[in-house]
Chain A
Amino acid sequence: MKDADRSEVPYGTLDLMILKTLESMGALHGYGIARRIEQVAEQSLSLNQGTLYPALLRLEQRGWIDSEWGASENNRRARFYSITRAGRKQLSRETESWARTVAIVNRLLGNPS
């Protein structure tokens, strides 16, 4: 697949994607989160995997996710992230506002959803 066919991660949606992934999959390490997002996007999304880590740190600083050490599939030490209660609340808020934003944009673009 050529890079040109992939879209960049829309600004501000990475957090939402990470939270949703952790909510549905439980605890995951960074690689797992990246893989999961790419799977769901069916390779239509160009995720610069490195950008995940600052995002994870940001979410952790806000108390929306937690992390702890665990063992990865290849038996390396890996940091496993999981969503917190505050994170779930944030997720539902974000989901709602995302839906609203999408609806507004759709209406503006003339294709009522």
Chain B
Amino acid sequence: MIARRVAGLFRRRSLDARLDEEISTHLDLLSSEYQRQGLSADEARAAARREFGALQQMREVHRDQRSVPLVDSVSQDIRYAVRSLRRRPGFTLAALTILALGIGPNAAVFSVVDAILFRSLPFRDPGRLVEITGGSLHNQASLVMIRDASRLADYASYGDATEANLTGQGEPARIPVSSISGNLLDVLGVMPQRGRSFHRDEEMPGRGNAIILSHALWQERFAGDPGIIGRTIHIDDVVRTVVGVMPADFRFPTAETQAWIPATVDPRNDGYYWWAFSLSLVGRLHAGATPAAARAELKQVIPRIRDAFPWKMWPDWAADSNVVPLQESLTAGTRRRLLILFGSVLLVLLIACCNLATLMLSRGLARQREIATRTALGAGRWRILRQLFTEGLLLSFMGALIGIALAFAVQSILTRVLPANTPRVNEIAINARVLLFTAVAAVLSTVVFSIAPAVLLTRSSLHHSIHSAARVTGGRTSSALVTVEIALAVVLVCAAALMGRSLWTMSGIATGIRADHLLTARISPNGSTCHAFGSCVGFYADLLNRTRTLPGVQTAAAANTLPLATAYSAFAAELENHPLLPGHEADMLWVTSITPDYLAAMGIPILRGRGFTDLDAAGSEQVILVSASTAARWWPGQDPIGKHIRATWLKKSRRVIGVVPDIQATPIGQRYGPIQGQTWIPYAQPIDGAPAPEMTVVLRTTRDPLTYAAELRRQVRALSADVPITDVQTMEEVVRGSLATPRSTLWLLFSFAALALALGVAGIYGVVSWNVSRRVPEIGVRIAMGATPAAVCRMVLSQTVRMACVGIVIGIGGALAASRLLHSLLFGVSPHDPLTYVAGAAILFGTGLLAGYMPSRRAARIDPVSALRFD
């Protein structure tokens, strides 16, 4: 039935023709009947017409009968709305701008939040994947024991992708490689696109010379060679056989990961098997198992792992371990930050809606006579509501279209400012889900911004509105809406101010180094390259000697890690006078291995004793430097020089020969595990084993450090063609980079707050100036009665002040509540920092007053004579 009617919409013309033909046949038959009765042809035709009745009216009825009334009247509504919006281009432009600014950032932020947090992981049955969290169960021993013991889940492990040298395949390259347990791909439920995944026995020592390539690496480095399976390649000097290529969309654990190798599980390799806590453990729950059940099972395994340790672990070791869905744990670091941004941008949309509502209201009041006339002509209230809503929807969807265009721009900025290691960044796109979200946002916005005006406008009774002296004012509703806008803006401004204070505090933290005029670069020779120089110590000594003599280079040195780094090394230590007690946790010390000139190059002074020299070589006495606070903590009131520090698993200890100031080892605002001190050792005297080949070279220069980058590459190339050089940047860039995440969060929050502030201020301005223009006759009377311009100005301003004060009070309350969410992102500033809130309130009050001042000046200048003629 409906279908036939809808079909009728499109067949209008043919149905009209059919009707005409039927009618004319009918009339012919009728008039021949009359002719048979004796009438002339003309008389017969006229009689037939009479008999048939009103032709045109019948056609109309027929047409109505076959149309869908709602569709027709809706299309009428839309045509009417388009006309009405076209008639007021100023209003339409303002409304579209507000909507685009409200919806565009929302679409962009949603696309990011959706890709990272909401969309399920691209693995088979992702809801069953879990991760073991907590600070302890990250070594191979834990994996092996949990994997063997669990009846509820299959567990596997992966390591963070670490850079490895790919050589013998064109230009030597550093590629991020993740070492995974043999069963990881099965647990994730992803099969290689070509070849096979690893076998469990490839975890055994000496069996695991296999590698699986990422699709990108296969395409870029091997030109998509169809015969890639079975080819051998050189990774960090180890010959590995390619056994598989992953599909293009497999990017795990991070988007940059280019290859996967089987982890070697060797219980005889004590140091690694027990003491390298660098693995992530993931699992696939068996059918029917819940994370809670898996957690309970894990709690039973933990004591067995603890007791199996070669060193006695403390009783509550691994007590913080938990089993949580993988989707949650993967995004744990970014979740809160993204949700806060999403919440802020939703607030902006809400403010935009309030703003638009006041705009609609003031425009709608101007249209009251039009609406009253339409009501008088028989339009029902529902029909008029629908008309207003249609106008709103039309605005919203046009605004959303512009917003989507805006979203592309905002999104490209967003992805750029997100930290590079953000999971699933590559999945961010403006896709169907984002469009759907935008459409829903547009419809909901319409509801929010057009309901209040529509209800208010259609409530006024007929004679009231036609009689212009008694119009509905809507002033209260507008003021309430503006108050809400101010309150929401206060929340965002305070949040941005807190983040700003936090970043300010962070950038004020002393790093302990002189970051200017320093060039840094990661140099990664293979073990075999080092052999040619006797050892890696020889390689670096040679390289540094070559660069040190370059004109403009003051000092050249190297260290295994830079300050403010996300990667660091630490060792379990026993310090003199503090013997290890059985059953107690060993103390962890940060350790940086450095060449003798490193401290001088970084501008780190030596407070006591001496620094390292070339004489602190492999064969000589093992020495160590400690930071001032480390010395004060372990040997208060004593001379630290000459004290000894021993790695817990070694017999020989090292002698402390000097004290240097504390250096910021990690990115500011981040804390890593329980670390009880900071130390430096000579590169030639590693804690254990041979010196690590990979080092960061630092050059202190007299001119712009980046101008030395090319020369540094030339010098490295001259020593060996096979050494990759990466991360060439100035130390100042390193320092800035360590604050990239808080800075980008701040910028986004700051822009949203600025947008909120602008919309709020525009709202105040709009409502106050509209009120002034509405009250022109009244103000005219007041002035005529002797009110001074100042008094008029005050009267108008008092409205602004009332709205601002109420809004600010509500807003501060909201901001205090919201600041709890910000807590974990703040550094060095309390979430209830009074100064921030006072500043936020002052900003709103100041700008609000300014916005109200302009219309109040206009009010004060009203000419009473022309004002009284106004209405």
* A residues whose Cβ falls under 8 Å from a Cβ of B: 29-31, 34, 48-51, 53-54, 57-58, 61-63, 72-74, 76-79
Are A50 and B66 in touch, CB under 8 angstroms?
no
The residue in chain A whose Cβ has the minimal distance to the Cβ of B27 is A31
Does B29 count as interface, using CB distance less than 8 angstroms?
A: yes
Q: Which of A31, A61, A62, A63 contacts B29 (CB 8 A)?
A: A31
The residue in chain A whose Cβ has the minimal distance to the Cβ of B55 is A50
Are B53 and A29 in touch, CB under 8 angstroms?
no
Bound-state Cα–Cα, A54 to B24, Å: 15
Bound-state Cα–Cα, A30 to B53, Å: 14
The residue among B4, B25, B26 with the most chain A CB atoms within 10 A of its own CB is B26
A56 to chain B minimum Cβ distance, whole angstroms, is 9
Are B25 and A76 in touch, CB under 8 angstroms?
yes
Does B422 count as interface, using CB distance less than 8 angstroms?
A: no
Q: Give the A-B pair count, Cβ closer than 8 A.
A: 69
Are B28 and A53 in touch, CB under 8 angstroms?
no
Does B51 count as interface, using CB distance less than 8 angstroms?
A: yes
15 residue pairs of the A-B complex, CB under 8 angstroms, read A30-B25, A31-B25, A31-B30, A34-B26, A49-B26, A49-B51, A50-B57, A51-B58, A53-B19, A53-B23, A57-B62, A72-B25, A72-B29, A74-B32, A77-B21
Bound-state Cα–Cα, A62 to B4, Å: 9
Bound-state Cα–Cα, A30 to B58, Å: 14
Does B61 count as interface, using CB distance less than 8 angstroms?
A: yes
Contacts of A72 on B, CB cut-off 8 Å? 25, 28-29
Does B13 count as interface, using CB distance less than 8 angstroms?
A: no
Does B5 count as interface, using CB distance less than 8 angstroms?
A: yes
B35 to chain A minimum Cβ distance, whole angstroms, is 11
Does B65 count as interface, using CB distance less than 8 angstroms?
A: yes
Are B54 and A50 in touch, CB under 8 angstroms?
yes
B interface: dominant SS: helix
Contacts of B18 on A, CB cut-off 8 Å? 79
Bound-state Cα–Cα, A61 to B21, Å: 19
Are B58 and A74 in touch, CB under 8 angstroms?
no
Are B32 and A57 in touch, CB under 8 angstroms?
no
Does B22 count as interface, using CB distance less than 8 angstroms?
A: yes
Give 1 or 0 for each of B1-27: 1 = CB within 8 Å of chain A CB: 100110000000000001101111110
- 13 additional A-B pairs beyond A73-B29, A76-B24, A76-B28, beta carbons within 8 Å, are A31-B30, A34-B26, A50-B58, A51-B58, A54-B61, A54-B62, A57-B62, A57-B66, A61-B65, A72-B25, A72-B28, A74-B28, A77-B21
Bound-state Cα–Cα, A104 to B51, Å: 34
Are A50 and B52 in touch, CB under 8 angstroms?
yes
Bound-state Cα–Cα, A57 to B19, Å: 10
Are B53 and A50 in touch, CB under 8 angstroms?
yes
Contacts of A48 on B, CB cut-off 8 Å? 52-53
Bound-state Cα–Cα, A61 to B3, Å: 9
Contacts of A78 on B, CB cut-off 8 Å? 22, 25-26
Bound-state Cα–Cα, A63 to B2, Å: 12
Contacts of B4 on A, CB cut-off 8 Å? 61
The residue in chain A whose Cβ has the minimal distance to the Cβ of B19 is A53
Are A58 and B65 in touch, CB under 8 angstroms?
yes
Contacts of B5 on A, CB cut-off 8 Å? 61
Bound-state Cα–Cα, A95 to B104, Å: 62
Contacts of B1 on A, CB cut-off 8 Å? 61-63
* B residues whose Cβ falls under 8 Å from a Cβ of A: 1, 4-5, 18-19, 21-26, 28-30, 32, 51-55, 57-58, 61-62, 65-66
Are B29 and A53 in touch, CB under 8 angstroms?
no
A61 to chain B minimum Cβ distance, whole angstroms, is 5
Are B62 and A30 in touch, CB under 8 angstroms?
no
Bound-state Cα–Cα, A76 to B66, Å: 25
Contacts of B58 on A, CB cut-off 8 Å? 50-51, 53-54
The residue in chain A whose Cβ has the minimal distance to the Cβ of B66 is A57
The residue among A50, A58, A74, A78 with the most chain B CB atoms within 10 A of its own CB is A50
The residue in chain B whose Cβ has the minimal distance to the Cβ of A34 is B26
The residue in chain A whose Cβ has the minimal distance to the Cβ of B30 is A31
Bound-state Cα–Cα, A80 to B262, Å: 82
The residue in chain B whose Cβ has the minimal distance to the Cβ of A72 is B25
Bound-state Cα–Cα, A58 to B18, Å: 15
Bound-state Cα–Cα, A17 to B236, Å: 95
Contacts of B65 on A, CB cut-off 8 Å? 54, 57-58, 61
Bound-state Cα–Cα, A77 to B405, Å: 57
Contacts of B19 on A, CB cut-off 8 Å? 53
The residue in chain A whose Cβ has the minimal distance to the Cβ of B57 is A50
Are A49 and B61 in touch, CB under 8 angstroms?
no
The residue in chain A whose Cβ has the minimal distance to the Cβ of B32 is A74
A97 to chain B minimum Cβ distance, whole angstroms, is 20
Bound-state Cα–Cα, A57 to B21, Å: 14
The residue in chain A whose Cβ has the minimal distance to the Cβ of B31 is A74
Are A31 and B26 in touch, CB under 8 angstroms?
yes
Contacts of B22 on A, CB cut-off 8 Å? 29-30, 53, 78-79
Contacts of A76 on B, CB cut-off 8 Å? 24-25, 28-29
